[in-house]
Amino acid sequence: MTKAKPDDKTSQLHRIYASGSPEETAAIYDNWAADYEGHMAGAGYAHPAMVAAMLARHQPAGDAPVLDAGAGTGIMGELLTALGYAPIDGIDASEGMLARAAEREVYRELRCGLLGTPLDYADDAFAAVVAAGVFTEGHAPLDGLDELVRATRPGGHIVFSIARSYLGETFAAKGRALEAAGKWRRVDASARYDSTPLSDDVLTAQVFAFAVV
């Protein structure tokens, strides 16, 4: 449960949760890009490590390429590179965040794009897809999973965090719909955790892994 008054380190996140449009969200991230990593490090930001750990449990590092959906400043790309995943492509709605990600020099390609709209990737283009801190209010709609499934080859894994109002029946219904359509099957899920344990907020989340059929 989120406290009424946001911690200073996560105040920008709460602005994004209340965002009225993808364009507003991207603008907030553009303006936040320079300070984002410092703020989130101070909050103990856990999503990238949780998602990377879950991917490593189910997808061999030699399987490539990997798509980092909602790449942000490239924290996930750096973790995956350290774990032996390469090449890695990234996509994000914020040009400012992508500029920071490019400085890490761990991505094969970075694109500006919006989850929940058609993505310019071929069918079965990726061995695996990760998305950390993306499927939550003010960020990407759950319909964004449809394109990620399409772009993942059969047998590959999609590993992602779910948070806030998406967590629970809202996501469960989406997961069941894709499973009933023969698109994926659930293979794993973490316990629920606080994604910002060093802040005064409690931002509950869970990581899921699905295998594309």
Instruction: Quick: pLDDT tens for 152-182.
Output: 999 999 999 999 999 999 999 999 999 999 9
In this structure, the number of other CB atoms found within 10 A of the CB of residue 41 comes to 12
Residue 9's pLDDT band (cuts 50, 70, 90): low
Mean pLDDT on 84-96: 97
Domains and CATH numbers, the chain: 8-212 (3.40.50.150)
Decide if 121 contacts 24 (C-beta within 8 A): no
Using CA atoms, how far apart are residues 151 and 35, in angstroms rounded to an integer?
A: 32
Its pTM surpasses 0.75:
yes
Supply angle C-alpha 206, 92, 134, rounded to 5.
Answer: 15
Quick one: what percent of the chain has pLDDT higher than 70? Answer: 95
Mean pLDDT on 109-137: 97
